[in-house]
Every structure is written in C-alpha cells, then in structure tokens.
A and B are shown apart, each in its own frame.
Chain A
C-alpha cells in the first residue's frame, strides 16, 4: 500500500522549457491535482470576486439598455434606425457580420487546431468556444431584429403553412439561415460534449447539495469509464472534423449575401476566402481581448502562457496579411475590370464621404498588425492587448465600409443617399456587447473555463515525452562510456 496521495505529487509537469526552446504550454510544477484545484476553485469558491461583481453590474446595465432599445424597436419599427433607401442594410448587418466573424476563432481553435494536434490549444479552447456561442447568439439577433416583424422569424424556415408558400432556396439569405443555425447548434453541442468530463469533476468536488445536483445533472452520470472514453474520443474527433468545413462554410455563405448581389464592391469572387480570413482575424483578436484580462484577473499565467499569446499573435499577423491581400485585390480588380462603376466605387471609398472610415480600417487592419513581426511585440502583453483591441475596431469598420459605401452610391446618381447610425443603432450595438460580456462572465463564474481533463492528459503526455528523452540521453551516455 502506498502513502497518502496528498503528500506525494502523482505526476509533475515537464521542466521549465521544451526541447525546441519555445516557452512551455504549461508552466512547470503543475500536477493533475493542482490543475483541477486551480480551475475548479474559480467556479466553486463561495466568494465571488468584487471585480467580477463590478464588471457584471456594468454589463447588466448595458443589457437593460439593450432591452429598452429592442422594446422601442418592436413598438415603433425599424424606422428608429438610420437605415433608408438605398442604404437598407445598416448597423444591423454590419454587427451581424462582425459578431459572426468573431465566433469563428473559437471553432478554429477547438476544431482545426485539435485536428492538427496543436497542444497549445488546450488552455484556451473552452473559453474560445464559449465566446463563439455567445458571439453567434449576438449575431443572430441582428438579422431577426432587422426583419421588421421579428415575431414572424419562423417564416424563414420551410414548414407546412396555410399560406402555401415556401422559402426561396436560391437566395443566399436563406442559406444564411441554415448556415448560422447549424453553426450555432454544432458549436453548442461541441462545447457541451467537451465539458461533460469537467462537469463530472465539479460534481465530485462540490461540497453542497445544489452543486452536486446541478453539476450532476449536467454531467449526465459521467464516470470516466475506459469504454466511454473510447466512444467519447471518436465522437469528439468526428465533431471536430465536421466543424472544420462548417466554420469555413458559414462565413463563405455570409460573404455570398454580398457576392451574389450585383452591386459594385460586393460582386467579387475574392469575397469568400477574404471573409473567412477576416473572420479568423477578428476572432483571434477577440480571444486575445478576453484572454489577457482573464489570465491576469484569475492568475492563470501558468496555464495560459506566453506561448499561447505569442502563437495567437502570429495567427493575427498571418490572417491580417491575408486580409490585406484581399484589400489589395479588391482595388486591383476594380481597376483591371475597366468597369466605371467599380472604379468609381473604389475611388469613392478612398476619397468620398466615408474616406475616414476607409483609412481608419487600413490603419487598424493593415498597419497595426505589422508590429507583430517583432518578437518583443508578440511577447509584450500590453502591446498584444492594444493590437487586439485595434483589430476588433478595425474589423467592425471594415464591414461598415463594405456595406455602406457600396449601398450609398449605386448605379443611378438619382438614387444616391447618405447613411449614419442613430442613437438607437448605437444602443443596440453596444447593448449586444454588454449581453456578450454578461454571458461570458456567467460562464467563467459557473462553468470550468479551461478543460481540466485535457490539461491532465497533456501533463501526462509531456511527462512521458520528458521521460523518454531522459532515457534517450541516459542510453546515449551508456553508449558513449562503453566506447571509452
């Protein structure tokens, strides 16, 4: 029989640095137990941090403002917004595209990096997935509110009805309904399935009856059986494999909303890849915007390490370059097409009424990320945070420019118009920011924000790798000494 496990550490993490000299994915000295304790204590402590209460209070007030704005909208109609003819798609669609793009980084981290065996994804995938779900929830509200009569939203779906009509399946707007609802559903089940083993940990760790029952129901009786794990891993892998093309398809379909129309500035074949890259770009910026304050507030520097931030910085730079390529190609093609409407659209973007927005987006999305070429910038937390914030703003402005500039100057000068958001537009947009923040705060207070079982598995793998390396060096020593 062995000694009490509390006195011995069953397995420790690897030494300070990894073989390739990169900073570690988990700080040294972590054990199965310490990882579990650190993450579940955030949820299961009876003391809610004051900072949490304060930020939640603010976001709650913003949600109230959002509800007021939506109530007024439902009572009066979309006329309270700045939309008009020709600019019928204003803030609502800008916000929709912005929010849904943010969601994409969560799926990218949880599915694509999982398929590519990127170990560093483990500490950040859970909250990135939560971000996805909340961002898609925010995104979904805008097209619905924009409908004019949101209470008839179910007309978007094909169902047997007494009117005898059905959706037009040749329209990208109907594709969008299916793409976004599938995306939301799959992201939700992926997130939940990934959480089941950790919910079981919380159930077994809970001291009160409420915790045991609530986490027990959510864990569905998970007991870590070897047979269950086998099917669980298969299902998780297949979900990741399905989510990967899904995430690409969603923003592709969103870009079809524009590209299938014949408007100058929208009708271009580069839109799908350019939108997907832009989505990942903005999504990683949002993951960083959330991760940097979180790790500071909860002391998670040992789990969300410099390695994570640096890697995300690199992805931000790479996707930023793809987006820049998109901008250049748009400009080039409008000149190369020789089409006067296309050329006018490009000149109008750069020099017209919305020129400040256009040059703002060039500053935010093209110039700012270039600082990430330097390693000191990628490893400097405040710099990364500022870059991420600027990119968030830049990507919102990008969608604003795409939507507004193409709509307000179309083919007939007699139908030109101007557009500006009203106070209700801003209240609704800022309202969803508060809604997102409130959901996210509830998530970090009530659910494990870092997957504990994946971290334990990672610790085990790293320890094994470490051990085999020691054995190799020992064997090499033996060979060397025998030669002498």
Chain B
C-alpha cells in the first residue's frame, strides 16, 4: 500500500542570525525532531550531528574516480604503445613506464575532479528545478541574508499545530507553511 502523502511539505521558521538558527536546530533536535533541514546563505558549522549529517560519501567517490583515472591512464598508454601500435625506438622497452607517468597523473586528477563534481551534484539531487520550499515567498532571502529551519511533515513527531507552536517559541521572524 502506498503511504499517504502528508498534506504539506513542512513548516519553515525564519531567523535573522546564524546563532538563532543554530540554537533552534539544537532545540528541535532535543525535542525529538529528526526530518529537518536548514537553509542558509553560507555553510554553517556545528550542527552536523543535529541534522544527522555523518561523513559524506563525496571523498569515497573522489577516491574511486581517482583510482579509475589512474588505471585508465596507465593501461590506455600501455595498450596503445606496447600492444596496439608498438614502435621500436632504438630497442628501448615498449612499456616505457616513466614516460607514461604524466598522462597517468593528469587522468587521475581529471577523473577525480569530475567524480567530485558530478558525485556531489548527484548526491544533492541537483539539478532540481522545483522544490516545495521555493513556494514560501520570503524564501528568496535564504540565498542572501536570512537563515531558515524547515521541519518536514514526514517527521514522526510532526504535528501541524504542535510543531508550529514549538517553532514560535524559538522567536523566529516568521513561521510559514510549506505547500507542496
């Protein structure tokens, strides 16, 4: 059976300083809320545990990309220079590995870098043209000078009235409902 979709995405509280938002996140976490997210005009520090952010998988993806690039770089050169199109230059070895290092290195960096970029975008679900938070008119300031906390309706403790009352205790500038 398909789970019923909650009537709205969640509630959004707006704060004017980083400190207020950080305090609010800690309070909400202590209150038992888990499905929440912050929206801020620059990265925040010190609330990773509260938001349930453990280590990200980006470094692992980059490592995989780098190793893949390294192997691709070396074996491409080995195959092309020693097997597919061997040229005997004065009897020197066909697998002349020192000459293959620069391109191996470049491809390691290339693959690692592209994996970092596309891995980060994929994990973040970007590009995503539509998201419910954009429905809140004041949300345009999340990319400028305001700090937002969204408690999502999927949270087991979420209750339209109770959660709103809780958020209003935190002295936000405004609490808004996020329509789907």
Contact = CB atoms under 8 A, between A and B. Distances in A.
Contact of B87 (A31, A168, A175): A168
A2 to B, nearest CB: 5
A472 interface: no
A2 B103 contact: no
Interface stretch (A45-53, A133-141, A245-253): A245-253
B116 A242 contact: yes
Interface string A158-185: 1000001111111010110011001001
A229 B38 CA distance: 10
B1 interface: no
A225 B9 CA distance: 15
Contacts of B146: 5
A208 interface: no
Given A189-B117, A222-B126, A249-B102, A1 B58 contact: no
B149 to A, nearest CB: 9
A311 B110 CA distance: 31
Interface string B139-175: 1111111100000000000000000000000011110
B110 A228 contact: no
Contacts of A33: 144-145
B43 interface: yes
Contacts, number: 201
Contact of A245 (B42, B109, B121): B109
Contacts of A235: 58, 62, 116-117, 119-120
B114 A232 contact: no
Nearest to B69: A182
A264 interface: no
A454 B144 contact: no
Contacts of A234: 56, 58-59, 120
B38 A169 contact: no
Question: Looking at chain A's contact residues, is the secondary structure mostly helix, strand, loop, or mixed?
Answer: helix
B100 A169 contact: yes
B129 A216 contact: yes
Given A225-B37, A226-B40, A238-B116, A204 B143 contact: yes
Contacts of A456: 41-42, 145
B99 interface: yes
A230 interface: yes
B103 A175 contact: yes
Given A166-B85, A222-B126, A245-B109, A230 B48 contact: yes
Interface stretch (A72-80, A193-201, A391-399): A193-201
Given A165-B85, A168-B87, A228-B124, A36 B145 contact: yes
Nearest to B174: A1
A229 B44 contact: yes
A186 B41 contact: no
Nearest to A226: B38
B109 A182 contact: yes
B109 A242 contact: yes
Contacts of B77: 169
A231 B123 contact: yes
Contact of A226 (B39, B110, B130, B134): B39
B173 A186 contact: no
Interface string B76-118: 1100110011010100000010011011011101101110110
Contacts of A186: 109-110, 113
Contacts of A414: none
Contact of A225 (B39, B106, B110): B39
B120 A232 contact: yes
B128 interface: yes
B16 to A, nearest CB: 5
Contacts of B112: 238, 242
The residue in B124, B130, B134 that gathers the most chain A C-beta atoms within 10 A of its C-beta is B124
Given A226-B39, A233-B43, A238-B59, A221 B116 contact: no
B138 to A, nearest CB: 10
Nearest to A206: B140
A356 to B, nearest CB: 36
A205 B103 contact: no
A2 B171 contact: yes
A456 B171 CA distance: 23
9 contacts: A1-B171, A5-B173, A182-B109, A220-B126, A221-B126, A227-B51, A231-B124, A238-B59, A249-B105
Given A189-B114, A224-B142, A232-B120, 10 more contacts: A10-B16, A36-B145, A158-B80, A169-B103, A201-B143, A225-B37, A229-B42, A231-B120, A235-B117, A239-B117
Listed from nearest, the 5 A-B pairs whose CB atoms lie closest are: A235-B120, A220-B127, A32-B145, A226-B38, A221-B128
